[in-house]
Amino acid sequence: MEKSARDFAIEYASDIRFHQSFTLPPNPQAGRPAPIRVTYADADHRHDKRSDGPTILCVGGMMGGRYMVSGSMDILAKRHGVRFLCVDRCGLGGSGNVALEHRVQSWLDTVPALLQHLDIKHVALISHSSGTMFSFNTLLYLRQVLHPSEPYVAMLAPWVHQSHSEVALLSATSIVPNALVSNVVPIIKFINNKLMPGIGPIASFSSGMLGSASTENPSDAPDGETKAMRKELGKVTMKYVFEENTEGPGQEAMFCIRRGPKDMWGPWEDYDKGVRMITEQEASLDTRKPNGERAKLRVHAFFAESDALIGKKGADWFDSCWKEGNKEGQILYTSETVPDTGHDSIVDLEKGVTERIFEEVVASFA
């Protein structure tokens, strides 16, 4: 009997690969006096199961947790023989929460603990939106998790503070009370479930978690899925997201607009100083490729053509941080604007960006 679109969506979204967990040990200095549970997704399609095979750690946006793996990322991981990991940051999904000021340190505790748990030596990083701030911290304080000879980081639609982007919507948040900013998730849930139900997620603010998985190669798609199945999967996964913990994304909205101390993103404060710190760190390293050449960090930024959350000014400012802070060329930085994309749609499979990133990662681990 042929599966209905809804049966497919429920079965696929319930795959055990998307519902893994481990226990993060306590760290009172990071606001965790007791152990907390961390949930993650692990789509392992490596042809060679050795621990240092091609592996991507995804650092999603505000609501871009483990469900980013279901769909297009799973298809690409299968197509290219890659292991793809995505973690629910604190307060999202089944992950325990911490206070806003401890989000960064808890991420820095989570990454090495997860990789040790899975016996993974090295990863490439893909970040989207607010995940960019966590990628910067990973580069500065967990540099050892990147591949030693071909370290690679891709940053899609990187979040930029409104003081640089001058996006009117975000600039207006300066007069919005903290209580309202931190409760943005219930507003999104209300819009999706009450105002526009039945048409799929339409307000996944900075989520990037439900990228289209349309594909020209049916063999890539699980169980011969159709576009109707993909649409239904979007509805089901969004429902699953809102049934779990969403306290963390509310905090992350405060984090994005930096409603707190200037250094809440990290001691680097903002990207201009952060790039300088990363560049100085890279200059001090002397890692080599097998052929003896110096192994340089590669960072590739992809900007959306029509990004309502960072705008062209934000993209230009982010780009200038790397160009000004990396004049000595210690880092191989490249950037581009992807036509016909928005802040979230840039992750869609049909846009081609994620496919190129997977190809780069496979080559770097070869």
Structural element, H or E, at residue 38 = strand 36-44
Instruction: Please give the span between the terminal C-alpha atoms of the chain, in angstroms, as a whole number.
Output: 42
Tens-binned pLDDT, residue by residue, of the chain (366 aa): 567 888 988 999 999 999 999 999 999 999 999 999 999 999 999 987 766 899 999 999 988 899 888 888 999 999 999 999 999 999 999 999 999 999 999 999 999 999 999 999 999 999 999 999 999 999 999 999 999 999 999 999 999 999 999 998 777 666 566 665 666 666 555 445 544 444 333 344 444 444 444 444 444 555 456 778 878 888 888 888 888 988 888 888 889 989 888 899 999 999 999 999 999 999 999 888 888 888 999 999 999 999 999 999 999 999 999 999 999 899 999 999 999 999 999 999 899 999 999 999 999 998
Strands 83-87 and 36-44 turn out to be antiparallel
**Are the C-beta atoms of residues 85 and 92 closer than 8 Å to each other?**
no
Query: Which three-class secondary structure state does DSSP give residue 213?
Result: coil
Residue 187 to residue 312: CA distance in whole angstroms: 27
